[in-house]
Structure 1
Amino acid sequence: MNHLAKAGIATLSAGAIGSAGYGGYVYFSKDSFASKLGISLLNLTGDSNEATWGERFKEFNSTTTGLDPSLNKTSIKKWKDLQKWCNDNKNNSFNKGDQKFQNFESFCTWKIGDKITSNIPKDAGPEVDVWKTAHTQLKTRSQGKTLSEKLQTVLTTEAGTDKADQKAMHKWCTDAYKNTWRGNNDETFKEASEYCKS
């Protein structure tokens, strides 16, 4: 291949890579909602995740602000309606600040709390003694390990007169349960699985 031909290919490649949308190129098309969230997504058709869809529907139904107009409570009356909304929007282009994407992530995905077992239930209030036990065991189980910044703050919280230690443990764990599950190697998932138990 001569130098001119090589130069032509190089120029074409650079143009294709560097000109998103120019001349019909799709090399820089945005990620879709579904491709961005990957394994975090619930099954968007069928009944196999019915119980978890039911939980997402309860969360949707109790949400009063920050909903995209397409999430209309007059038309989304059961979990199947929510599942359909998720399926209908799975190919939308990803934009991190987009309200619809934020809703999609909130209501169409697995949460850490769905995936961990043998942990303190999310509905155990902060006054329940299991959180005190979990905080005490955090001190033992975490020895020699590096914790995330927020969990490190929980670790160093003293009991005081208002049970601040178990309240901090409760808040960290229940907040973690609400996070999107991003696989079993996700650091928050691993910490919640290890430390949110009595």
Structure 2
Amino acid sequence: MPIVETIEKKDKMHLIADNVKNVISLLGEDVNREGLLKTPERVADALQYLTKGYAEDPEEILRGALFKEKYRQMVIVKDIDLFSLCEHHLLPFFGKAHVAYIPNGYVTGLSKLVRVVEVYARRLQVQERLTTQIKECIQNTLNPLGVMVVIEAKHMCMQMRGVEKQNSITTTSDFTGVFNQQKTREEFINLIKKSPLL
């Protein structure tokens, strides 16, 4: 069991805040000046919120809303806003996820697909793994005929530092089952490109 699982939330908050305070001091700032007095606690609170996905089980979320259904065509939830932290620099990346599956006897609540994206995004991530984790969770839990996930995101570690390319967008995709067929993938891509009707 990871040591963090045995630490009370309040104690964890204090430990993170103390370490943030040390980092600020090592950067050359005065941790006692007015503008920084509450910064360690604010950062600790923000980090716990931004990584709250570790405390949630995405498969359980899907299983909590499973319904028998004969529908066997594509189900798509597109333009799901996501925010995550790059595990390499702890800088944000953000964008949109597009999720599709073709049911095989069961469907899940549409909001549950959004929550699965949210749970995995609220962890330290790389976009490639995030894409695959969402796909595998849906495939393993719903056992559909196929799943496809596409994520488009901007990475602050590429825009604020490093190559500093402010307009770069990273796209990742992963798929299973019937989405191995080019025709099915193309149908999905064409549908997510369409302008919303509402």
Normalised TM-score (structure 1): 0.24
Higher Cα Rg, which structure: 1
Whose RCO is larger (CA < 8 A, sep 6+)?
Answer: 1
Normalised TM-score (structure 2): 0.24
